[in-house]
Amino acid sequence: MKPIFRFAPSPNGLLHLGHAYSALLNARMAGEADGRFLLRIEDIDTARCAPELEHHLIEDLRWLGLEWEEPVRRQSEHFADYQAALDTLIEAGLVYPAFMSRGEVRARIDEWTRDGREWPHDPDGTPHYPTDERTMPAAERRLRIAAGEPFAWRLDVEKAMARYGRDLYWDETGAGPAGETGRIAADPSRWGDVVIARKETPTSYHLSVVIDDALQGATHVVRGRDLFHATAVHRLLQDILGLPVPLYHHHDLILGEDGRKLSKSRGDTALRSLREAGMQPEDIRRLVGL
């Protein structure tokens, strides 16, 4: 069986040099391993992802000289797969409906930290969601859902870790932000009770990425270092859902001239702008060091 690599961009903005690096590195590693290279469009956020952005994305990747297998997997066409996994998590009692608004969360944290107590933050620096609703009575949950209150399905990470958290690790051939490499112990509790699905969208990045990596048979996940710590959540979900575990390779991020991470809202390094300014695909390869 050939190794399978995938590049999984979200069409919510224009591709920049960082995406070019990730896509080219994936294709190169696939080539060196005599493997297959797949493309997946991560467009579950239908409000922010637009067909014309997907069109630009494909055009930019082709211009770079990349080739991938057809058909391309488009996440927005597979909500039923994610819903089925969500149902499994609901039946196992590992997710709960979380109703708190942003203001309520803030008030809860303010109340806690007023007398100097620490509130936990995730690896991205965001405060954890309060755990109060883990134990909400089933009748109250039903009533509030029936009343049409907005909510998200959140993972009860403590319960999930108690059942599936033993010996949780992944093998890393790239490196984390602090140079972590080799066998990495996964601690998803650092993220608190992450969102697994939303009321209107039966999935989240974490849920769909593990399902699609499994359905597409990805053996190697090569992606930016900014997703290194999220891998802990992915490992937990894989064990709960009985999915295979790929090898992980988190690569360097391409930084802007100001040393900051590139983003889709910064037009300066968009591949389109570079192409319009007369750059050739070879120039892009040289710029990202490939």
CA atoms in the 13 A half-sphere facing the CB of 58: 17
**Does 215 participate in binding ligand GLU (rule CB under 6 A)?**
no
Span of 7-15, 26-34, 129-137, 139-147 interacting with ligand GLU by CB under 6 A: 7-15
Of 36 and 223, nearer to ligand GLU (C-beta) is 223
Among 8, 27, 44, 152, binds ligand GLU (CB under 6 A): 8
Based on the shown chain and the rule CB under 6 A, indicate whether residue 172 belongs to the binding site for ligand GLU: no
DSSP 191: G
Phi-psi region of 141 (alpha: psi -120 to 50; beta: other; left: phi over 0): alpha
Contact between 74 and 41 (Cβ < 8 Å): yes
Q: By CB under 6 A, tell whether 203 contacts ligand GLU.
A: no
Residue (9 or 174) nearer to ligand GLU, CB: 9
Edge-first strand order for the sheet with 169-172 is 73-74, 36-41, 4-7, 220-224, 247-251, 169-172, 182-185
In the bound state with ligand GLU, the residue whose beta carbon lies nearer, of 213 and 239, is: 213
Span of 5-13, 136-144, 254-262, 268-276 interacting with ligand GLU by CB under 6 A = 5-13
Binding of ligand GLU at residue 58 (CB under 6 A)? no
Q: What is the CA radius of gyration of the chain?
A: 20
Residue 95 vs 230, nearer CB to ligand GLU: 230
DSSP state, residue 199: S
Min dist CB 167 to ligand GLU, Å, is 23
Q: In whole angstroms, how far apart are CA 254 and each of 94, 118, 251, 277?
A: 37, 34, 9, 20
Only one of the segments 8-16, 46-54, 130-138, 161-169 lies at the binding site for ligand GLU (rule: CB under 6 A); that segment is: 8-16
Sheet holding 95-98, edge to edge: 95-98, 152-155, 195-198
Phi-psi region of 223 (alpha: psi -120 to 50; beta: other; left: phi over 0): beta
Binders in 9-28 for ligand GLU, by CB under 6 A? 9-10
39 binds ligand GLU (CB under 6 A): no
Which of 136, 227, 245, 247 lies at the binding interface for ligand GLU (CB under 6 A)?
Answer: 227
Q: Residue from 18, 24, 35, 42 that binds ligand GLU (CB under 6 A)?
A: 42
Give the CA diameter of the chain.
63
Contact between residue 288 and residue 265 where contact means Cβ atoms under 8 Å apart? no
Q: How far is the CB of 114 from ligand GLU (least distance, A)?
A: 36
| Contact residues for ligand GLU, defined by CB under 6 A | 8-10, 42, 209, 223, 227
